[in-house]
């Protein structure tokens, strides 16, 4: 039999999720954390996208939109499997013959695992929007470094009945590659900017040190040092719960990790540092729904204007 992937049941009661579904903002599927988006939800996300462009598009920003898949080799080289093997989705495909196809059909018929007939391909599902940037930046950066505006549909294997914890969601990011002082200053100026961005949307964010969900026993150490060194900050607001806040944005400083791994150098030959500012598009949209209601037509006029939502 196919192993149960998650103890979570898609029918588990979740009032906020139900409200989103009832309002036609999200369309549930038989898999937890995988939704269709209704027109109103897409209008909110489009408004956010435009507002974010206005916020971070300094002169010289390169805009790149990535597909939801990326190179497996680059994820391997980047160390993702060391830190987050439990979140990664891989793309497998069938490359067999008639007999192999027959085995698949029989296994499906019997409700058995047919993964044995599938082969790992060159692709994985993008776990974050910024990952493809680092291998593509190998070599020497321009004198001013590089600033990129990226987005991708991302996948993380974390099934949950919480509508704010999706398996497939959109992430928009600004990425800075330069010398350490420039990157740190860039990350620092994003703290008030990110807070103001969310406040202008009628939200009341907390900025707090955070850590990524590193895997295993070794992961606990990595998580503790990441938080202690202030390498990850999150902006938290109520989304699914008023009590337990959810991160809708993160500010991440990778120091020399990607520069060293992918041989990215500054104009004077030093290893480049990197940082990124990430926006969870669906999470911000859900936080807005939590704050202002399921009907965007009834939201405060200033918020509607910022998101260019039709009157």
Secondary structure element (H or E) that encloses residue 285, with its range: helix 281-292
CA atoms within 13 Å, Cβ hemisphere of 58: 9
Residue 297: partners with Cβ closer than 8 Å, 6 or more residues away = 309
Shortest distance (Å) from residue 231 CB to Zn ion: 12
248 binds, among ligand AMP, Zn ion, none (CB under 5 to 8 A by kind): ligand AMP
CB atoms within 10 A of CB 170: 21
Q: State yes or no: residue 248 binds ligand AMP (CB under 6 A).
A: yes
169, 174, 190, 197: which one binds ligand AMP (CB under 6 A): 169
Tell me which of 44, 280, 289, 299 binds ligand AMP, using CB under 6 A: 280
Asked if 37 touches ligand AMP (CB under 6 A), the answer is: no
Helix and strand numbers, DSSP H then E, in the chain: 11, 14
φ, ψ at 276 (rounded to 5°): -140, 150
Interaction of residue 130 with Zn ion, rule CB under 5 A: yes
Of the candidate spans 8-16, 100-108, 216-224, 277-285, the one that interacts with ligand AMP by CB under 6 A turns out to be: 277-285
CA distance 214 to 185: 26
- Least distance to Zn ion from the beta carbon of 157, Å? 18
User: Minimum distance between the CB of residue 108 and ligand AMP, rounded to whole angstroms?
Assistant: 28
Does position 276 interact with Zn ion (CB under 5 A)? The reply is: yes
162 binds ligand AMP (CB under 6 A): no
Residues 282-311 that bind ligand AMP (CB under 6 A): 282-283
The CA distance from 75 to 52, in Å, is: 27
Which 8-state DSSP code applies to residue 65? E
Q: Should residue 133 be labelled a site residue for ligand AMP when binding is judged by CB under 6 A?
A: no
């Amino acid at each position: 039999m196919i192993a149960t992937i998650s103890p979570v049941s898609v029918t588990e009661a979740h009032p906020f999720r139900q409200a989103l579904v009832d309002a036609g903002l999200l369309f549930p599927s038989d898999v937890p954390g995988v939704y269709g988006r209704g027109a109103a939800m897409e209008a909110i996300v489009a408004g956010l996208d435009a507002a974010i462009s206005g916020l971070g598009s300094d002169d010289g920003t390169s805009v790149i939109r990535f597909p939801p898949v990326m190179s497996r080799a680059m994820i391997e080289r980047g160390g993702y499997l060391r830190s987050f093997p439990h979140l990664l989705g891989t793309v497998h495909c069938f490359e067999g013959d008639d007999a192999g196809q027959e085995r698949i059909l029989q296994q499906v018929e019997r409700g058995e695992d047919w993964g044995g007939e599938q082969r790992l391909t060159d692709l994985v599902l993008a776990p974050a929007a910024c990952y493809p940037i680092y291998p593509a930046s190998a070599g020497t950066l321009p004198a001013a470094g590089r600033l990129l505006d990226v987005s991708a549909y991302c996948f993380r294997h974390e099934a949950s009945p919480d509508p704010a914890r999706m398996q497939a969601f959109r992430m928009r990011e600004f990425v800075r590659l330069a010398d350490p002082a420039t990157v740190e200053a860039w990350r620092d100026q994003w703290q008030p900017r990110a807070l103001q961005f969310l406040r202008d949307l009628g939200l009341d964010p907390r900025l707090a040190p955070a850590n990524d969900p590193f895997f295993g026993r070794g992961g606990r150490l990595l998580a503790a040092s990441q938080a202690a060194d202030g390498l990850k900050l999150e902006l938290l607001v109520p989304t699914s719960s008023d009590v337990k806040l959810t991160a809708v944005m993160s500010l991440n400083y990778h120091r020399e990790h990607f520069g060293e791994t992918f041989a990215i150098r500054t104009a004077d030959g030093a290893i480049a540092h990197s940082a990124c500012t990430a926006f969870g598009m669906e999470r911000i949209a859900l936080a807005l729904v939590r704050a202002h209601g399921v009907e965007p037509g009834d939201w405060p006029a200033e918020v509607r204007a910022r998101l260019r939502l039709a009157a």
